[in-house]
């Protein structure tokens, strides 16, 4: 599937490893020129070199802390007019409301509410003027399925989702779409961190903690970063023939993968089906379903379209047209 974004420019935050890197790679595989970001300069340089080598696109690495105004300025200085913005950051410290400190709550708000809002405010006016923009916020399943042990994550990320819902209604008429991806059981360093915490809290072995993670998913496996990233790349596409609309109630989790929400859909898409992707995704008027394999119970709609997130774009499409990053 050609997503029609070859030659576009993307800024992907916190993308030297984990889900951010996977999203940068999926976009680069579609011919998108990417700015990758992280605080570890060595890891960032390695990621940049690997993406250039494999995907043949322009890749710029920016070592910067996006929780600071100076870091965000440096990041956007490498690509002042991005077509695509993927916000992401390291997960807040786990803990219940009576366990986390005021400083830890403040850090979560800065990293997962204030910082992404600042980036969105910086890029949206240009996207609207150019009449193309794709914003994907990597948040967490804790937005729609809160866990008492993840108080900082639930609070900050839910606040971001609410603001993005309102903004999406204002900008979609200018072909700027805003989506949230809400991962949970994706096999990254975050899940290793959670397994180690489970060991400490419940006095079990690491192997037992990992087995408990897998056992929580009926598919009996964790999702893979490239599966999550395929959903991100799809939401950044310019496929005009699709009109995606969420009309499902939350159901029991069936398969691993990202939750998706689109603020225009009304309710958060806890069942893992993509809601309305308007703007460039609205064209045919057909009601379709995008199944991203997290919650598989759903009712039928007219003209259903099932796009599995596991259909990862592994073969890099070398863009014949290359856009400048400046």
Model confidence pLDDT, tens digit, residues 16-62: 999 999 999 999 999 999 999 999 999 999 999 999 999 999 999 99
3-state helix, strand, coil in the chain (%, to 5): 40, 15, 45
State the DSSP H helix or E strand holding residue 233, giving kind and residue range, or none if neither: helix 225-235
Q: Is the pLDDT of residue 251 over 70?
A: no
What pLDDT does 222 receive? 81
Give φ, ψ of 87 to 5 degrees: -90, 145
Q: Is the pLDDT of residue 123 over 80?
A: yes
Q: Rounded to an integer, what distance in angstroms lies between the CA atom of residue 172 and that of residue 280?
A: 9
What pLDDT does 223 receive? 80
- The stretch 109-136 carries a mean pLDDT of 97
What pLDDT does 213 receive? 79
How many helices (H) and strands (E) the chain has is answered by 9, 7
- The stretch 69-91 carries a mean pLDDT of 97
Q: What SS3 class is residue 259?
A: strand
Name the E strands within the chain.
9-12, 33-38, 59-63, 84-87, 133-138, 176-182, 259-261
Question: Residue 315: which pLDDT band, with cuts at 50, 70 and 90?
Answer: very low
DSSP state of 112: I
**What is the tens place of the pLDDT at every residue in 88-121?**
999 898 899 999 999 999 999 999 999 999 999 9
Q: What percent of the chain has pLDDT over 90?
A: 56
- The stretch 253-276 carries a mean pLDDT of 37
Answer yes or no: are the C-beta atoms of 243 and 10 closer than 8 Å: no
- If one compares 230 and 187, the residue with the highest pLDDT of the two is 230
- The stretch 229-241 carries a mean pLDDT of 83
Answer yes or no: are the C-beta atoms of 36 and 46 closer than 8 Å: no
Question: Residue 244: which pLDDT band, with cuts at 50, 70 and 90?
Answer: low
What pLDDT does 190 receive? 81
What pLDDT does 83 receive? 98
- Mean pLDDT (the chain) is 77
Answer yes or no: are the C-beta atoms of 261 and 182 closer than 8 Å: yes
State both tokens at 242: 């699709």
Lowest-pLDDT choice from 170-179, 234-243, 307-316: 307-316
Answer yes or no: are the C-beta atoms of 294 and 32 closer than 8 Å: no
Q: Is the pLDDT of residue 224 over 90?
A: no
Answer yes or no: are the C-beta atoms of 228 and 18 closer than 8 Å: no
pTM score, two decimals? 0.75
**What is the tens place of the pLDDT at every residue in 153-186?**
999 999 999 999 999 999 999 999 999 999 878 8
């Amino acid at each position: 599937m050609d997503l029609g974004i070859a030659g576009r420019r993307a800024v992907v935050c916190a993308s030297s490893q984990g889900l951010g890197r996977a999203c940068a790679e999926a976009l680069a595989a579609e011919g998108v020129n990417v700015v990758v970001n992280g605080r570890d300069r060595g890891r960032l340089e390695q990621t940049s070199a690997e993406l250039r080598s494999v995907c043949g696109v322009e890749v710029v690495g920016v070592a910067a802390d996006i929780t600071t105004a100076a870091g965000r300025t440096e990041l956007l200085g490498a690509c002042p007019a991005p077509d695509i913005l993927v916000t992401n950051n390291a997960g807040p410290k786990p803990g219940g409301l009576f366990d986390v400190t005021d400083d830890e709550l403040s850090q979560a708000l800065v990293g997962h509410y204030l910082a992404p809002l600042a980036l969105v405010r910086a890029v949206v006016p240009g996207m609207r003027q150019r009449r193309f923009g794709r914003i994907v916020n990597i948040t967490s399943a804790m937005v729609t399925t809160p866990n008492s042990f993840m108080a900082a994550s639930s609070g900050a990320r839910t606040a971001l989702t609410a603001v993005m819902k309102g903004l999406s209604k204002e900008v979609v008429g200018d072909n700027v779409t805003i989506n949230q991806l809400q991962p949970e059981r994706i096999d990254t360093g975050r899940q290793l961190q959670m397994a180690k915490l489970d060991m400490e809290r419940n006095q079990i072995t690491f192997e037992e903690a990992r087995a408990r993670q897998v056992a929580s998913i009926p598919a009996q496996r964790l999702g893979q970063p490239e599966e999550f990233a395929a959903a991100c790349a799809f939401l950044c596409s310019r496929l005009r023939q699709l009109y995606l609309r969420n009309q499902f109630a939350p159901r029991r989790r069936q398969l691993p993968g990202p939750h998706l929400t689109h603020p225009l859909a009304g309710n958060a898409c806890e069942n893992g089906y993509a809601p309305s992707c308007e703007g460039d995704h609205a064209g045919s008027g057909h009601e379709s379903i995008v199944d991203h394999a997290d919650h598989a119970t759903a009712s039928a709609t007219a003209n259903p379209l099932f796009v599995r997130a596991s259909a990862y774009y592994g073969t890099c499409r070398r863009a014949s047209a290359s856009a400048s990053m400046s």
